[in-house]
Structure 1
């Protein structure tokens, strides 16, 4: 159990916010499989963008009982505070601040993990956001700007002093991006340095790894990102491991197909036919990864532009049990 302000997260397994991935249909799919917490995709602090369909789709509340957490990113303290207040006015129950994204287009604006090189600016952003809203504020960081400057402990202490309620830490530096393996020693040092809940993130792909990371770091919970793409059942597996239960059976072909169909319907409903069909394509590719003839199936499904045709092809593909064998 993890307390984030007045919110109690019963299950210490978090979904990492991923831009272009963790939209409402994705978060709902993960919630059905037992994720305990799932924030929105990262959105810009530029409030002028809130009139765009892209941003409106990103901040919409998911259709589950988890706290409605919205992640914001930016480098201007006043703009970040304004964005936080605007999202709270639209129903956000938790504001999450992104200082972990390593993407060049984000860091080039001094946002995301680029901020870790500027502790004074980090302090200003956290101070103004926390003071501006009456909901808990959380923070996502990396272990530092570079392997030679892992300042995660200092940033964590700063975050706690400025009123951050919970801290998620990805076990790589900004310069690492997603290369190599995540390291957990810095996360363990952060856990020892602060009293707020710390969530460990990076390279957690199954229940055994989740248990190992918790043992290594002493973190209050773990956060899963890329391993959940096309695999919401990872949360079912991790939950069983944390409870000392046998690993559940992998999902059947019928279950995979039914889950994907529900996911696609959610995309079509949220984005409309044109965008929904296109956004759904990457999810289809993730769900069918490792299945026989998946490449031919993806080629066919990527050519259709009608939502009914997309659903028909998916239903046809997953109705053939032989395709569920591992690809040669």
Structure 2
């Protein structure tokens, strides 16, 4: 099933001239070869909010065209419903297996406005949709009641929730509470990579992963352990990455992941849309040491 297991979210390597298409293709092919369960192109890690419609369509085409048999989920978030509908049309035209929608805003949105967004968009879809709940970027807080209403809409197939509580019992309660309020066919996917093992152990069916887009084998090991009942193994594998999680918390996962990709030579520098930048030299050296210690370099 597309909205379960590991969904890997790659960077969209770019600079102020344009998208580095050959590099992006290599990242996609790398994920397909690793055997990830799906690829999430144009998520927050893919810098979707910084790209034009034409650029996003091109990225969608490249992702689908080079993912082999791996399902590709395309982000379609935008400030206006009109633009979201255009992006949904483009994603479907490119051959996306599914779409990912966050309620982007400049003016703070109400629950009814967000429900109206999903109601309108799902009416025009022929592919399944994942609800993107990411208050760190959208500054919108979903209630479980709103998730429940949206989950009843046609084509809604998954909810991408932010990190679960650290305590395993509290995480299980959180997942169970949401599960009881949504249809059985709608999966729950955890994001916030530091919380992934806890979320999967607590009953989430998917991990929408930042590191999965760069270190797919590492993320797959955590995912497979958790989903086969090896909760302790999943926790241990995740705990080893604690230094990386600490950098994510301090600088944001996008900056850290892009810097790591630059260090590893997987993308060229610069790789992020200005004014967003990768880490400065002192922190870059610190990250290099962490990558070496974790055998990720």
List aligned pairs for 1:153-172, cutoff 5 A: 153-163=144-154, 164-171=156-163
Instruction: Give the alignment's TM-score, normalised by structure 2.
Output: 0.61
Aligned partner of 2:191 in structure 1 is 201
Aligned partner of 2:207 in structure 1 is 222
Aligned partner of 1:41 in structure 2 is 42
Q: Deviations over 1:257-308 (max 9, x none)?
A: xxx79x857x5xxxxxxxx55329969x98994449x9xxxxxxxxxxxxxx
Deviation of 1:70 (Å): 0.9
Aligned partner of 1:13 in structure 2 is 6
Deviation of 1:190 (Å): 1.4
The CA distance in 1 between the partners of 2:29 and 2:82, in whole Å, is 32
Does 1:243 pair with 2:228? yes
Does 1:56 pair with 2:58? yes
Q: State whether residues 191 and 219 of structure 1, in contact with CA within 8 Å, keep that contact through their aligned partners in structure 2.
A: no
The CA distance in 1 between the partners of 2:125 and 2:270, in whole Å, is 36
Deviation of 1:74 (Å): 1.9
1:45–1:186 distance in 2 versus 1, CA, 3 Å: farther
Deviation of 1:29 (Å): 2.9
Aligned partner of 1:307 in structure 2 is none
Give the number of the structure whose alpha-carbon radius of gyration is greater.
1
Q: State whether residues 23 and 58 of structure 1, in contact with CA within 8 Å, keep that contact through their aligned partners in structure 2.
A: no
The CA distance in 2 between the partners of 1:131 and 1:139, in whole Å, is 15
Partner of 2:76: helix, strand, or coil? strand
Partner of 1:73: helix, strand, or coil? coil
List aligned pairs for 1:55-204, cutoff 5 A: 56-57=58-59, 60-62=62-64, 63-64=66-67, 65-99=69-103, 107=105, 109-110=106-107, 115=109, 118-142=110-134, 151-163=142-154, 164-171=156-163, 184=171, 185-195=173-183, 196-204=186-194
Deviation of 1:197 (Å): 1.0
Instruction: Give the alignment's TM-score, normalised by structure 1.
Output: 0.57
1:20–1:224 distance in 2 versus 1, CA, 3 Å: same
The CA distance in 2 between the partners of 1:234 and 1:17, in whole Å, is 14
Structure 1: stretches of 5+ with no match in the other structure: 3-7, 100-105, 173-179, 251-259, 268-275, 295-322
Deviation of 1:155 (Å): 2.1
Aligned alpha-carbon RMSD (Å): 4.6
1:161–1:20 distance in 2 versus 1, CA, 3 Å: farther
Q: State whether residues 14 and 224 of structure 1, in contact with CA within 8 Å, keep that contact through their aligned partners in structure 2.
A: yes
1:279–1:79 distance in 2 versus 1, CA, 3 Å: closer
List aligned pairs for 1:278-317, cutoff 5 A: 278-279=270-271, 289-291=287-289
Aligned partner of 1:253 in structure 2 is none
The CA distance in 2 between the partners of 1:151 and 1:78, in whole Å, is 22
1:138–1:153 distance in 2 versus 1, CA, 3 Å: same
1:188–1:202 distance in 2 versus 1, CA, 3 Å: farther
Deviation of 1:88 (Å): 1.3
1:156–1:80 distance in 2 versus 1, CA, 3 Å: same
Aligned partner of 2:256 in structure 1 is none
Q: Deviations over 1:7-51 (max 9, x none)?
A: x56x612224767699554344333333212211243599xx323
Deviation of 1:229 (Å): 6.5
1:146–1:135 distance in 2 versus 1, CA, 3 Å: closer
Aligned partner of 1:315 in structure 2 is none
Q: State whether residues 49 and 77 of structure 2, in contact with CA within 8 Å, keep that contact through their aligned partners in structure 1.
A: yes
